[in-house]
Amino acid sequence: MGKPTGFIEYLRELPADRPPLERVSDWNEFHLHMPEEKLRTQGARCMDCGIPFCHTGALVSGMASGCPINNLIPEWNDLVYRGLWREALDRLHKTNNFPEFTGRVCPAPCEGSCVLGLNNPPVTIKNIECSIADKGWDEGWIIPAPPEVRTGKKVAIIGSGPAGLSAAAQLNRAGHTVTVYERADRPGGLLMYGIPNMKLDKEKVVMRRIRQLEAEGVAFVCNCEVGRDLDAGKLLADSDAVVVCTGATKPRDLPISGREFTGIHFAMDFLTENTRTVLNGNGAAAPIHAGGKDVVIIGGGDTGTDCVGTSIRHGCHQVVQLEILPKPAMERALDNPWPEWPKVYRMDYGQEEAAAKFGQDPRVYLTTATKFEGDQAGNVAAVHTVEVRWERNDKGQFIPQNVPGTEKVVPAQIVLLAMGFLGPEQPLLEALDVERDARSNIKAEHGRYRTNHEKVFAAGDCRRGQSLVVWAFNEGRGAARECDRYLMGATHLP
């Protein structure tokens, strides 16, 4: 603990973001950097707790409490305070292959369980993590480090999202020959196409790390869908082990009246095609473009927020975001105690931009869509909504009930469905002949990650269901460890 009184002397401070009305005119990252001296001051606020809940990584009430990859947070906070940035980077890399990713897109469950947060604003863990990684790149400390010895074992990884990348990094570090298969035209999975560029820069951040992995010996094969472009049986026969990291990419639909109208899209299709056109240098030509249109987004999570920010950058006429849950409280409720994730009201970047552009938070709480209305040409023209209240049914479960007299009609020429995902796509899993659980996810025990097929492992959302990027990193590292143990009889991977 570098400064025993730091948590008393210093207040929480974060770097400013670019002004909302400025940043919506481009696709550049909106976070700004903080001077080193201020970062060291923020590191001094860490109390180096005797029991540091920030890196426990436990599930409490079904939500992450603490860091799922068990980052050694108090240690690198102290090193930053003392100006030992290279040592802080080494400590961070012990548990996190890609801290510049989590430092940008993770919701920071570590901060939600920070002990200081019991009666003060928590330590700025996420910002310090990102700053350590960025400084490592700026100083040239992060360089390719290929393994000195190869084992002769070949591992195929299906999917290059967060789980696939972390599994690839670890298995390559163990000396195996790793090939990652990706059906999209660029590697990165969710990191490449599921998160907009203004939140996570693809060329400067994502591709930079992928190029490092390539320099270390990892091979990426894009535009290759296993089971369609490459026979799954042949891949199994040609590999000593296979790790499936395809994510949970089957979107939840909304089968209400009018669903067939043109202009109703899954959110991930909207975000993927937009990012692809931005990276190709022609963002104005996105196949699904919100310019001048009324946009209704159904779903209130991170994906919905990304749709808000993207729609505003397109120049939409207005944007409304429907959220079936109630508006969160401004402070922790009694039934949401520390160290649980604090379920409190937040304005994320997309809502901040909408408020600056249109004068208010676009979210409408306790509201659901009942039907879509179309025009004579078959295009969506409006969304019919109704307010709901949550009541217990005869089984004791809370379910939404429509409130009579609260019906409204919201104009919409584009509707984006951002209601989450139902699990992994099934054709590949059928081709590999792996067992599924009741939720259609790959059946593989957490901690072991092995499927019913001896040499097939599974990690990330395709195994655990839709979750956080940081949980995918946890699972990718874990699956790599168990895969290495299977191949070699023992493992030194963490």
Summary mean pLDDT of the chain: 96
Q: How many CB atoms lie within 10 A of CB 141?
A: 14
Question: How confident is the model at residue 195, as a pLDDT?
Answer: 97
Secondary structure E strands in 81-203: 154-158, 177-181
- Fold match, 6-138 / 154-249+422-488: no
As a whole number of angstroms, the distance between CA 356 and CA 175 comes to 51
The answer to whether 290 touches 273, Cβ cutoff 8 Å, is no
Assess whether pLDDT exceeds 90 at residue 62. Answer: no
Residue in 149, 130, 213 with CA at minimum distance from that of residue 179: 213
* Helix, coil or strand: residue 441: coil
Concatenated DSSP letters for 194-261? IS-TTTS-IIIIIHHHHHHHHHTT-EEE-S--BTTTB-HHHHHHH-SEEEE-----EEPP---BTTTS
* pLDDT confidence tier of residue 59, bands split at 50, 70 and 90: confident
2 vs 412: which has the higher pLDDT: 412
Question: How confident is the model at residue 57, as a pLDDT?
Answer: 86
58 vs 121: which has the higher pLDDT: 121
Tell me, which fold does domain 6-138 have in CATH?
Answer: Fumarate Reductase Iron-sulfur Protein; Chain B, domain 2 (1.10.1060)
As a whole number of angstroms, the distance between CA 299 and CA 322 comes to 6
Question: How confident is the model at residue 295, as a pLDDT?
Answer: 98
* pLDDT confidence tier of residue 396, bands split at 50, 70 and 90: confident
pLDDT in tens, 44-53: 999 989 889 9
Mean pLDDT of 98-102: 97
Q: 241-244 and 154-158: which strand pairing?
A: parallel
pLDDT in tens, 439-454: 999 999 999 999 999 9
Mean pLDDT of 286-299: 96
Assess whether pLDDT exceeds 80 at residue 1. Answer: no
Concatenated DSSP letters for 347-389? --HHHHHHHHHHSS--EE-SEEEEEEEE-TTSBEEEEEEEEEE
The distance of Cα 4 from the centroid of its chain, to the nearest Å, equals 34
Mean pLDDT of 70-81: 95
Question: How confident is the model at residue 283, as a pLDDT?
Answer: 67
Tell me, which fold does domain 154-249+422-488 have in CATH?
Answer: FAD/NAD(P)-binding domain (3.50.50)
Angle in degrees, CA 281, 286, 288, rounded to 5: 165
Question: How confident is the model at residue 457, as a pLDDT?
Answer: 98
DSSP 10: -
Mean pLDDT of 255-272: 98
Mean pLDDT of 102-118: 95
* pLDDT confidence tier of residue 3, bands split at 50, 70 and 90: confident
Question: How confident is the model at residue 284, as a pLDDT?
Answer: 73
Mean pLDDT of 222-229: 96
Assess whether pLDDT exceeds 90 at residue 2. Answer: no
CATH 3.50.50.60 at 253-419, yes or no: yes
Domain spans in the chain, listed from the N-terminal domain onward? 6-138, 154-249+422-488, 253-419
Q: How far is CA 241 from CA 97, 180, 233, 455, in A?
A: 21, 12, 12, 5
pLDDT in tens, 137-154: 999 999 999 999 999 999
Tell me phi and psi for residue 162, to 5 degrees: -55, -45
Assess whether pLDDT exceeds 90 at residue 320. Answer: yes
